[in-house]
Amino acid sequence: MLVCPSCGQQTRAQSRFCPNCGRPLDGRLAPGTLLGKGDYRIVRSISKGGMGAVYLAEDRRAFDRLCIVKQMLDYYDPTDPEERRRAEERFQEEGRTLAALSHPGIPRIYAFLSENGRYYIVMEYVQGENLESFVTHLDETGRVVTNKRLPREEVVRYTIQACRILEYLHNRPRPVVHQDIKPANLILESQLGEVRLVDFGTARAEIPPGANLGDGTKSSIYGTDGYAPPEQYRGQPVPRSDVFALAATVYHLLTDDDPREHPFKWPKLNTLPREIAVALERALRESPDQRISARELRQALEALSTPNRTLEAFTFPGGTQIRTVGSLPALADEHWDAARSFLYKGDFQRWLRDI
């Protein structure tokens, strides 16, 4: 049986419309829909994939603070109770995973809801662009959008930040493997200019190979083709699987050569500066035992981020760069929140050490 998300009426699994209120039974949430006994109000749809839909919402308990509502969709056979049970367990596991994590690079979870036969995760809204917007990609209408390339030093800085997130995940008592790192799942937060890692959905492990997630991306039970390492295709993900996927993401950002078009091949790797190419090659090795860790990748890239090396400029949000100590105070005053974050994480210390 299906449950109408609008009025709660039960109906046959094959029904396309609610016999009581006439609403479509595709599960979409219309703007203005209230969830959580009226605590959350849907503003608009953000994206829809094969397993879940993401909405921007307002938290009415917190002065209409913006938040994200992720809705579990009926990607399983609605006539099979066992499939539904497994899907619900996977969605609940995603909520439990987020609830156990506490890191500035990972969105916080606010609530887990079950209403009218559907499940929802309410989490922190990260305002900004995902890194896919900086490579050639298809927009929501299927139109090819030419990339606005990120400067190389910014890609390196964001990768270092992503490595720190992975170090946190991988060094937990029970290591967490994200399993789907790619440009679309890394958001560049607009206020501080920092990278945030999103989409901790473990349900992807059960999607049939080649399923279309609705955004033009061909995904499989192994993550996303082109970014996922070989061991994920065997159902054996390990922490260094995320390092492979991050390195594939960095390759994509630096070259605009989409790895989804030729998985496990990196034809433009030798066009990158030697130090970067060597670091990525070590992260992209076939065997996870021969691959470097997130910490080792971070250290390799940090060694490039000094003024006397190829990546000599320090970049603030908005693209403003400095190359001298004398320029630092004025720019820090102008971008105080970002400067405070750089100082806290040791970015200034690493940049200044070789001057």
Q: What SS3 class is residue 3?
A: strand
**Model pLDDT, residue 42:** 95
**Model pLDDT, residue 244:** 98
Q: What are the Cα distances from residue 52, in Å, to 118, 119, 287?
A: 11, 10, 32
Query: How close are the terminal C-alpha atoms of the chain, in Å?
Result: 68
**Among 261-265, 292-296, 319-323, where is mean pLDDT lowest?**
319-323
Stated length of the chain: 355
Say whether pLDDT at 310 is over 70.
no
pLDDT tens digits for range 134-145? 998 877 777 888
Q: What share of the chain is helix, strand, coil (3-state, %, to 5)?
A: 35, 20, 45
pLDDT band at 209 (very low <50, low <70, confident <90, very high): very low
pLDDT tens digits for range 80-99? 888 888 888 888 888 988 99
**Model pLDDT, residue 1:** 46
Phi-psi region of 183 (alpha: psi -120 to 50; beta: other; left: phi over 0): alpha
Q: Specify the residue for token string 């603030």.
A: 316
Residue 180 a catalytic site member: yes
pLDDT band at 110 (very low <50, low <70, confident <90, very high): very high
pTM: 0.75
- What percentage of the chain has pLDDT greater than the value 70? 82
**Model pLDDT, residue 320:** 79
Per-residue pLDDT, averaged over 278-285, amounts to 97
Say whether pLDDT at 55 is over 80.
yes
Say whether pLDDT at 21 is over 70.
yes
CATH of the domain spanning 2-124? 3.30.200.20
Which of 26, 299, 280, 15 is closest to 167 using CA atoms? 299
Say whether pLDDT at 331 is over 90.
no
- Measure the CA–CA gap between 249 and 204, rounded to whole angstroms: 19
**Model pLDDT, residue 144:** 84
Task: Find out whether 40 and 64 touch, Cβ atoms under 8 Å.
Answer: no
Per-residue pLDDT, averaged over 209-238, amounts to 69
- What percentage of the chain has pLDDT greater than the value 90? 49
Residue 10 phi, psi dihedral angles, 5° rounding:
-85, 140
Q: Give the chain's mean pLDDT.
A: 83
The per-residue DSSP string of 53-95 comes to: EEEEEEETTTTTEEEEEEEE---S-TT-HHHHHHHHHHHHHHH
pLDDT tens digits for range 282-301? 999 999 999 999 999 999 99
pLDDT band at 169 (very low <50, low <70, confident <90, very high): very high
348 by Cβ neighbours in 10 Å (0-12 / 13-18 / 19+) ranks as middle
pLDDT band at 353 (very low <50, low <70, confident <90, very high): low
pLDDT band at 6 (very low <50, low <70, confident <90, very high): low
**Model pLDDT, residue 103:** 94
SS (H, E, C) 196-246: EECCCCHHHHHCCCCCECCCCCEEECCEECCCCCHHHHCCCCCHHHHHHHH
pLDDT band at 203 (very low <50, low <70, confident <90, very high): very low
Segment of 56-60, 70-74, 339-343 carrying the highest mean pLDDT = 56-60
Per-residue pLDDT, averaged over 263-278, amounts to 95
- Higher pLDDT pick, 311 / 227: 227
Catalytic residue among 180, 199, 242, 347: 180
Q: Where are the domains of the chain?
A: 2-124, 128-304
pLDDT tens digits for range 111-160? 999 987 789 999 999 999 999 999 988 777 778 888 778 999 999 999 99
CATH 3.30.365.10 for domain 128-304, yes or no, is no
Say whether pLDDT at 355 is over 50.
no
